[in-house]
Chains A and B, each alone.
Chain A
Amino acid sequence: MIDKNYWLGYIRPSIYQYLAPFTTIQLTVYLWGFKAGCPEEFFRRKKYTKTEFLFNSFAAKLPFLKDMLEQYTGAAIMLLFALGIACGMVTMTSLLGPKRHFADKMEPFECGESQLVSPHQRFSVKFYLVAVLFVLFDIEAIFFFPWAVLFKRLGLFGFVEMLLFILILGVGLLYVWKRGGLDWE
């Protein structure tokens, strides 16, 4: 019969028992880092400082970053452009626009409402109509993105297809217009 504590008794308790897990984790992390960072350097067994090691593992991953930047350059330029236009508009109007201050204008306000009215009141259904029409035409616009990308590849078929789509929605727009859905009053 084997003593249950045989294995524990065999290895004499030492400080290593307590250090072993930590050393193992440290070693694993260290080796993984080297594998990801600079394998050839690892085999040469050059000693690196922590900063050098971090820099090397970052440099090894740079090609990925470069790929990604190249892939999204267009989107990034467009975002910067949009940001520039938005900021530019605000800055230019605040710089160039005439400034006339009078008492009524300096009062805090919310969309033309007096600030002494309770905000808990019914809203006109006109707002709802505008919002729903916005949502619908927004969804319509979504379909134009893949169409624009594929315009040349789809040829006449795609053109007719989209024409039909626009025609059906055009009927809707005409109806909304004739019915007075676009008039505020």
Chain B
Amino acid sequence: MELLIFYPIAGLCVALALGVILNTSPVGSAMCLIGMMLGLAGIFVLQQAHFIAVLQVIIYAGAIMVLFMFVIMLLNLKQAASADWVSRDKNLYITILTSALAIGILYKIVDVTFMADLDSPAELPDTFGTVATVGESLFTDFVLPFEVASLLLLAAMIGAVVLAKPKLD
């Protein structure tokens, strides 16, 4: 029954991921990426990882996409430049490198999947990955990293303002 929900979402994700790489317009690719990230959030919910699902929607589909849009805007990609992906021989080394990386990751995934002892899955508490469980360890065991995160955000905030508004008026 879980598969009945999983397969449509997974199929949609794969279709949208193909949309990301096959789209000639960068903005179209970005829109497909948003859809794919929302689909991934659905898969995370199926895996009982609710907090990751929320992160996926708010951080990836929201914040990271904004940054992607900005890169697209600031780079000023021309339609023609983005469409000549067919002749990519000048980027041969990059192609080989990224393909090798992708194959390596895929190999690891397949390896782990088939080596896993599926008959006796590791025992996890029912609440593993829910918002409450993640929060409990975040606010008790990892208080210091949590507070340091706020300092990091503060530094980023100040840095952004200093970069964008260099002169005090």
- Bits for A146-184, please: 1 = Cβ < 8 Å to B, else 0: 110110011000100100110011011101100111000
**A10 beta carbon closer than 8 Å to chain B:** no
Residues of B within 8 A of A18 (CB): none
Question: CA A131 – CA B70 in complex, angstroms?
Answer: 8
User: What is the number of residues of chain B that contact chain A, defined by CB distance less than 8 Å?
Assistant: 45
B60 CB → nearest A CB, Å? 11
Q: Does chain B have a CB within 8 A of A16?
A: no
Q: How far is the CA of A123 from the CA of B70 in the complex (A)?
A: 10
**Stretch among B10-18, B72-80, B94-102, B106-114 lining the A interface:** B72-80
Q: How would you classify the secondary structure of chain B's contact residues: helix, strand, loop or mixed?
A: helix
Q: A146-B134, A146-B138 are in contact. Are A179 and B168 (CB under 8 A)?
A: yes
Q: Which residues of A line the B interface, CB within 8 A?
A: 61, 64-65, 68, 72, 120-123, 125-129, 131-136, 138-143, 145-147, 149-150, 153-154, 158, 161, 164-165, 168-169, 171-173, 175-176, 179-181
Supply 12 A–B pairs (Cβ within 8 Å), ascending by A.
A120-B78, A125-B164, A127-B70, A128-B70, A128-B160, A134-B66, A135-B64, A143-B146, A149-B135, A154-B139, A168-B147, A169-B153
Give B contacts to A, CB under 8 Å.
1-2, 5, 45, 51, 54-55, 58-59, 62-64, 66-67, 69-70, 73-74, 76, 78, 131-132, 134-136, 138-140, 143, 146-147, 149-151, 153-154, 156-158, 160-161, 164-165, 168-169
